[in-house]
Structure 1
Amino acid sequence: MSQTADFIEAIHQAPWQYVLTCTGGGSLAISELLRYPGASRSVLEASVPYASGALASWLRSHPEQACSAETARKMAMAAYQRARNWQAAHPQNRAAFHVEPSSIAGVAATCSLASNRPKRGSHRFHLAWQSADRTAVETVTLQKGVRSREEEEKHVGKWILNFLAKQSGVSSQLPVEIFPDEVIQPEFQQAPSAWQSLLAGTAQLAWTRRGLTGTLSRGPVRSTNRAILSGSFNPLHDGHREMAQLGEEWLGLPVEYELTICNAEKPPLDFLDLAQRVATPSAERTLWLTRAATFVEKARYFPGVTFLVGADTIKRIGQPRFYHDQPLLRDEALDKIATLGCRFLVFGRLDDRSFITIESLSLPPKLAALCDQVPESAFRNDLSSTKIRRSERESEQNLQ
């Protein structure tokens, strides 16, 4: 057998099964995996969501940037979720190949390679691995103009196979050519047990504060001696801090942060994302990590609390589109929040160049009855995580 055949066979014999997805390039890795016998042991599914709409469908939302490490991680997480769902529906497949439930993964590649039109940015690719215990990424920036598109495709294909082999525990690697100006940036996050339990769904809640962590298999959190500021904290900024400080003064209760790893419209957060988002908030206040994608779920975890929210969030809570476009389902959810004794303290937000408050929104009566407004005279901070990320991304692009 050839070196490549032996190498691919070793990947197939490794005790892992995975869903592989790539966009912008990398499809040669799929064909190589399927070219040699044994692929049914390891490959559950392979997908190439190439068009922007297809990629958005895979991720359940449009990414901020198609070719980035963040998008690769989201693709890998979506692939991991598909692998988990497939394994749950076909346990006989896992048993036939002696694969442990924890030995499934999502693998992704997103590429920006040579094209038939000039590219302003770098030629690069981002690879990501997501499994129950870790998130791994490799970003490779290629030297422009030294390889044709076909040569870059072959290069990426080999790199994906090497990445897959390394993460699967295969020691051998295919030889790849690296030019002096090419940059390789690995990232890796081994998940603590609390995060693994959250992603697996065996725990519904975890808390962390200054390096200490604990989990709860299910809610609710009994004590109501707190208020909760829920957010994505991507990143945490002074607007969040001002809301928390003012909320404490307004309510006379300590404010704690809450970050959900689940999102009704996106894949769950990966472990690199969690590590980045958890570090700063948990150094300042108690941070709750949950699987609560909606405020009904949050209310079940934290009955009797007041949630601190921006006016943009309270607007979304009242929109029927988040309840399958059925106002009746929305009203039932609001009734449940009220029954659980929860309320909302609303902070005005800048939206489309106007400052919005409860008074400027047409909230459903059931929702308006649960809200108290912090006046603009007491709080006005136009920072947003989205603006911060956009500014950082533009700065990075200007450096390329």
Structure 2
Amino acid sequence: MSLPDPQLADLITAIHQTPRMVVLEFAGAGAQALAWLHSIGGSSRTILEAVDHYAAASLIEAVGFSPERFTSAEVARGLATRAYIRAGQLAPEGTPVAGIGCTATIATDRLKWGDHRCCVTACDERGLATVSLTLTKGARTRQQEEELVSLLIVRAVASTCGLENLPPLPLLPGEQLREAFQPTDLLVRLLAGDMAWVAVLPDGREVVGETWPGLALLSGAFNPLHDGHRLLARVAGDLLGQEVYFELPLINADKAPISPQEARRRTAQFAGYAPVILTRLPLFSQKAQIFPHSVFILGVDTVERLVQPRFYHNSPAEMLASFQTIRAAGCRFLVAGRVRDGRFITLKDVPLPESVRDLFDEIPEDRFRVDISSTQLRERGRAAER
């Protein structure tokens, strides 16, 4: 492992003294950057995780598509975005984070017909800053090319930390660094933990904020959005005398997190129809603090999960404390029944603790009953495709 020169060592020391924490994702080159960052004490204050996507299948899985060119700004941005979201999941709450994505093709032990090049992107709450470089082929050893790519990565980390006086790049005549910037997508910032919610209006406009009181929120996975959801929103809106907003939690207490691509697909279902609020709030006690004095509209099957201590670290006391948080925020629940095994299950079939029963109201069966679920619709769709 080559050690960083004094100027680079000073820069890495300065990086470790900032609060920014990062996830690195690289393909083709860049491992030296990680070694340099770890070679200076304090790297645990900076590095959250690093992933080397060396196999093509690994890189495709990471960015979510099969690129025409693996070494491209598009792929670097995809890796950086994924790394940024991951950093938000790993870092302590309130910590500034960044994701660094690098993809490169450099000298190897066989003849390469194409250019030697690299793309490095830094993604943080401000945007995605990408640098691209085509190297003069045959002018450097593999190790020298690796070190140049790694220097670009360390410079990208330093930039997200707000540091200046970056080490110069040892570029050769005719080599030119190309730079590009684009603002960070609000959905990506949401997934990274920069905000609690993003509302997407029917016309596509996006709204953000801190709290939003007094809503009627119909929470669900909406995979897919179907007529049952629409009918429930209409009936609940009539009963409550207000517009119903759909809520799509990207993090769920008992399901895998939703990816950015999947979140966009599901959000598109509401275009021209209704507002949808995307959140990273898996618990209703969390929703209550962001949306105080609101009514949460849900199915009876969700209520059954709400009163299971296993979702509260198997602690009945923690479960009751969660409901107390909901009560203190002035929130309550409006519950729709559901058919199960040929029988219509209602709120009366759920063993609610007496101390929380007053938080729940029920939609009468004669106002709302739908005998099909999203799961059944997905199964029908898969059967039709066969």
TM-score range, shorter chain: 0.5 to 0.7
| 2:307 match | 318
1:194 aligned onto 2:186:
yes
Say if 1:261 and 1:367 are closer, same or farther in 2 by CA, change over 3 A: same
The runs of 5 or more residues in structure 2 that have no matched partner are 1-21, 38-48, 54-63, 66-79, 104-122, 129-152, 154-181
Query: Which residue of structure 2 aligns with residue 363 of structure 1?
Result: 352
CA-CA distance at 1:281 after TM superposition: 2.2
- Measured against aligned partners, the alpha-carbon deviations of 1:284-320 in whole angstroms (never above 9, x if no partner) come to 1221122211111111111111111101011111111
CA contact under 8 A between 1:258 and 1:287: conserved in structure 2? Answer: yes
- 1:102 maps to what in 2? 98
1:276 to 265, 268, 277: 265
Distance 1:395 1:249, change over 3 A: same
Give me the CA root mean square deviation: 4.0
- TM-aligned CA deviation for residue 88 of structure 1: 7.4
Paired residues, number: 260
User: Map of 1:1-400 to 2, 5 A cutoff?
Assistant: 18=24, 40=35, 44-45=50-51, 102-104=98-100, 193-209=185-201, 210-216=203-209, 218-219=210-211, 221-222=212-213, 224=214, 226-396=215-385, 398=386
Displacement after TM superposition at 1:330 (Å): 0.6
Query: TM-score when scaled to structure 1?
Result: 0.55
Amino acid at match of 1:303: P
3-state SS of paired residue (2:233): helix
Deviation sequence 1:4-51 (CA, Å, 0-9, x none): xxxxxxxxxxxx96469xxxxxxxx9xx989x977747982469xxxx
After superposition, the Cα gap between the structure-2 partners of 1:264 and 1:191, relative to the gap in structure 1 and judged at 3 Å, is farther
In the alignment, is the contact (CA less than 8 A) between 1:191 and 1:271 conserved in 2?
no
Give how far 1:374 is off: 1.2
Larger Rg: 2
Percent of aligned positions with the same letter in both sequences? 34
Q: Which runs of 5+ in 1 are unaligned?
A: 1-15, 21-28, 48-68, 71-75, 92-99, 108-130, 135-167, 169-189
Specify whether residues 86 and 292 from structure 1 end up closer, same or farther in structure 2 by C-alpha distance, changes over 3 A only.
closer
Partner amino acid for 2:249?
T
Cα gap change, 1:38/1:395 in structure 2, threshold over 3 Å: closer, same or farther? farther
Counterpart of 1:172 in structure 2 is: none
State the TM-score, normalized to the length of structure 2.
0.57
Partner letter of residue 262 of structure 2?
D
Report the AA paired with residue 244 of structure 1. A
Cα separation, 1, equivalents of 2:82 and 2:347: 36
**Contact 2:337–2:345 (CA under 8 A) maintained in structure 1:** yes
Deviation, 1:367, is 3.1
Q: How far, CA to CA, are the matches of 2:349 and 2:228 in structure 1?
A: 21
